[in-house]
């Protein structure tokens, strides 16, 4: 029934084509150089071919391979510009689309999971998918009561594919690492693998989306579609009309970029504070900018359950760092396990390491850019720099891993948007510990942005 490549051998061969294909193209490039083509021309063409193969392989495999591609796509802002251009186009495609499954396969899944009379639930059902992602694809339809809905259908064999892909990709992590300077890809793959079971469970996703939809009902800034129906491997929600964030990134006005960026930051911190759930998949394909100026949010398959909101340690550490309290920051990081007991570090050096990274929180309004994030990535990735040496000695406790990834991903999207964001406003309003105890009494409410 499935057109998704499931056999481990088949998928491993396809994944192996990534590094092998790169080696082959490198040899091809050397041949071009020998025959007189310029290094710049050959390099550009080589990168373009590599990027095209990356999209082809990850997109065809879907599963964990595409999931990694989507996770990496939000970090492309950190790539040097000469490398970023070809990868940007290929990886951004993974945020919105992938080669779809045939209609016959989709119909078979619906018949098996919903029932042979599944068509009775819909007035209309569009066979051509509106979007295809890592473990499922979405079809536009009209529910039997007239509501326009999004029907999310999980790929048959998606669970096996996810496990197989991520296990194999772990072996290639060193080859994938250079795509994102300053980031260790292997822990990202491990963390994605740990979330597989949750993301495959559409009942859990429906529960998380219901919680968000209830909390944000009638919200002036954020829209979350309500859940209409859920069955095994099938999830039906209200349709969300709007401009995909990838289009805002590509061709949106500065006003739209700034608004989308401000609301994205607000959703990251405010959504967690209000629901006790962290939306943990912040790539542009999961967001829409609606015509009324609100931010539409989709896909709650990956969430972190934080009933008390984000840990106060994060806000407290930010506040103390901005205040220049080196000893207090060092003590807090050691207490929380960011600095292991067996290691002694210079508190002032930690302050110097952190301050450039948290610059957006130090000013009234910050202009995110690809240049800024590239500078941060280069500073940390350069093996000769003090920042790199210190960063190697810091530890990331497991309970902060997903929060860290989501924060970095959101910053990556803000840099893609080139948005000017009042980040400090959102931190003061929603992040526990960012204000001292007296100031913190008024936190937790935000005035909606003007339309």
Tokens found for residue 344: 């002694």
**What are the phi and psi torsion angles at 135 (to 5°)?**
-125, 0
CB of 141 within 8 A of CB of 119? no
**What are the phi and psi torsion angles at 8 (to 5°)?**
-55, -40
H-only helix segments in 97-133: 103-113
Helix H or strand E encompassing 124? strand 122-125
**Is 281 an active-site residue?**
yes
- Taking each helix axis from N to C end, the angle separating 326-335 and 347-357, rounded to the nearest 10 degrees, works out to 90
C-alpha angle with apex 92: 306 to 73, nearest 5 degrees?
45
Region label for 71, one of left (φ > 0), alpha (ψ between -120 and 50) or beta (otherwise): alpha
Q: Given the residues 165, 258, 281, 304, select the one marked as catalytic.
A: 281
| CA pair distance 440, 384, nearest whole angstrom | 41
Kindly provide the b/e burial profile for residues 163-182, where b requires at least 16 CB atoms within 10 angstroms of the residue's own CB. bbbbbbbeebbeebbebbbb
CA dist 328 → 339, 347, 394, 450 (Å): 13, 9, 16, 39
Q: Which of 90, 79, 84 is nearest to 53 (CA)?
A: 90
| CA pair distance 211, 163, nearest whole angstrom | 28
Give the number of other Cβ atoms within 10 Å of residue 428's Cβ. 20
Kindly provide the b/e burial profile for residues 319-352, where b requires at least 16 CB atoms within 10 angstroms of the residue's own CB. bbbbeebbebbbebbbebebbeeeeebebebbbe
Burial class (CB in 10 A: 0-12, 13-18, 19+), 85: middle
Burial class (CB in 10 A: 0-12, 13-18, 19+), 50: buried
Catalytic residues: 281
């Amino acid at each position: 029934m499935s057109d998704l490549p499931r056999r481990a051998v088949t998928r491993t061969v396809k994944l192996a084509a990534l590094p092998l294909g790169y080696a082959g193209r490198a040899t091809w490039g050397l041949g071009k150089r020998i025959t007189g083509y310029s290094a710049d021309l050959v390099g550009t063409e080589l990168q373009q071919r590599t990027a095209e193969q990356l999209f082809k392989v990850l997109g065809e495999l879907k599963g964990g391979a595409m999931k990694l591609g989507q996770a990496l796509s939000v970090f492309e802002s950190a790539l040097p510009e000469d490398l970023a251009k070809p990868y940007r186009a290929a990886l951004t495609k993974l945020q919105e689309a992938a080669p779809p499954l045939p209609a016959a396969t989709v119909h078979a899944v619906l018949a098996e999971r919903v029932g042979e009379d599944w068509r009775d639930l819909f007035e209309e059902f569009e066979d051509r998918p509106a979007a295809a992602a890592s473990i499922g694809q979405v079809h536009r339809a009209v529910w039997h009561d007239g509501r326009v809905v999004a029907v999310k259908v999980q790929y048959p064999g998606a669970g096996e594919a996810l496990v197989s892909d991520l296990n194999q990709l772990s072996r290639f992590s060193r080859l994938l690492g250079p795509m994102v300077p300053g980031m260790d890809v292997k822990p990202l793959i491990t963390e994605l693998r740990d979330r597989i079971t949750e993301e495959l469970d559409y009942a859990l996703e429906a529960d998380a989306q219901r919680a968000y939809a209830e909390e944000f009902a009638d919200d002036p800034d954020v829209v979350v579609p309500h859940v209409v129906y859920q069955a095994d491997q099938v999830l039906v929600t209200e349709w969300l009309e709007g401009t995909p964030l990838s289009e805002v990134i590509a061709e949106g006005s500065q006003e739209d970029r700034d608004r989308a960026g401000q609301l994205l930051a607000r959703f990251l911190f405010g959504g967690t504070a209000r629901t006790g759930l962290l939306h943990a998949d912040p790539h542009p394909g999961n967001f829409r900018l609606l015509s009324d100026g609100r931010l539409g949010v989709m896909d709650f398959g990956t969430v972190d359950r934080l009933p008390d909101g984000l840990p106060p340690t994060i806000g407290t550490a930010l506040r103390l760092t901005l205040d220049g309290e080196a000893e207090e920051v060092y003590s807090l990081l050691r207490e929380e396990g960011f600095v292991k007991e067996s290691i002694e570090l210079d508190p002032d050096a930690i302050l110097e390491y952190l301050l450039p990274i948290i610059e957006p929180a130090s000013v009234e309004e910050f202009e995110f850019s690809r240049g800024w994030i590239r500078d941060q990535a280069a500073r940390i990735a350069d093996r000769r720099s003090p920042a790199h040496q210190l960063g190697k000695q810091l530890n990331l406790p497991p309970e902060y891993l997903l929060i860290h990834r989501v924060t970095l991903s959101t910053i990556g999207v803000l840099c893609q948007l080139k948005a000017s964001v009042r980040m400090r406003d959102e931190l003061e309003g929603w992040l526990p510990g960012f204000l001292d105890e007296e100031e913190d009494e008024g936190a937790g409410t935000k005035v909606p942005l003007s339309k």
